């Protein structure tokens, strides 16, 4: 079951905040990301693995996705490919947030369709700025 204060995620509609889906297996990091983004007024639904995130995203396309790479059940690379292969989700911006900092991993994600890549440890304030930038009309 997702950890969230919202029932479902969907793109921003008038009067509703933009929805953000987060896949992060570390519960402390997941809670930090959720807290920071909710404080900024976003609707956040968070998951511990890519499989859960993908299932939710397929039913409720979000405004943006934040995706860890190293997760159980389904990793971020597989999830990224699945998301970008689904026509309803190809335009959804994805920020990869990972401890993997090799040029090869970064280039692989960007080539697979990620909009941005941040290396852990990360600044939560910088993440908020990057989200805001990607959601600008």
DSSP 36: H
Q: Which helix (H) or strand (E) holds 39?
A: helix 27-39
Q: Which domain holds residue 123?
A: 8-129
The structure's pTM equals 0.89
14 assigned to some structural domain: yes
DSSP 135: H
Rounded to an integer, what distance in angstroms lies between the CA atom of residue 65 and that of residue 87?
15
102 assigned to some structural domain: yes
Identify the CATH number of the domain in which residue 93 sits.
3.40.50.2300
How confident is the model at residue 15, as a pLDDT?
Answer: 77
Provide the domain count of the chain.
1
54 assigned to some structural domain: yes
119 assigned to some structural domain: yes
Q: Would the pLDDT of 100 be above 60?
A: yes
2 assigned to some structural domain: no
Q: Which residue has the higher pLDDT, 16 or 110?
A: 110
61 assigned to some structural domain: yes
- Model pLDDT for residues 32-61, shown as the tens digit of each residue: 999 999 999 999 999 999 999 999 999 999
107 assigned to some structural domain: yes
22 assigned to some structural domain: yes
Q: Which long-range contacts (CB under 8 A, 24 or more apart) does 40-43 make?
A: 40/128, 40/131, 40/132, 41/17, 42/17, 42/18, 42/131, 43/5, 43/6, 43/9, 43/16, 43/17, 43/18, 43/19
């Amino acid at each position: 079951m997702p950890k969230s204060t919202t029932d479902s995620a969907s793109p921003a509609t008038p009067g509703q905040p933009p929805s953000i889906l987060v896949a992060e297996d570390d519960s402390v990091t997941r809670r930090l990301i959720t807290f920071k983004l909710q404080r900024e007024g976003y609707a956040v639904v968070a998951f511990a693995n890519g499989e859960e995130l993908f299932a939710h995203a397929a039913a409720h396309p979000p405004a943006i996705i934040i995706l860890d790479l190293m997760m159980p059940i389904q990793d971020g690379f597989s999830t990224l490919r699945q998301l970008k292969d689904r026509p309803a989700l190809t335009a959804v911006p994805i920020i990869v947030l990972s401890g993997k900092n090799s040029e090869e991993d970064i280039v692989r994600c960007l080539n697979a369709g990620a909009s941005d890549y941040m290396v852990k440890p990360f600044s939560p304030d910088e993440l908020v700025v990057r989200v805001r930038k990607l959601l600008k009309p």
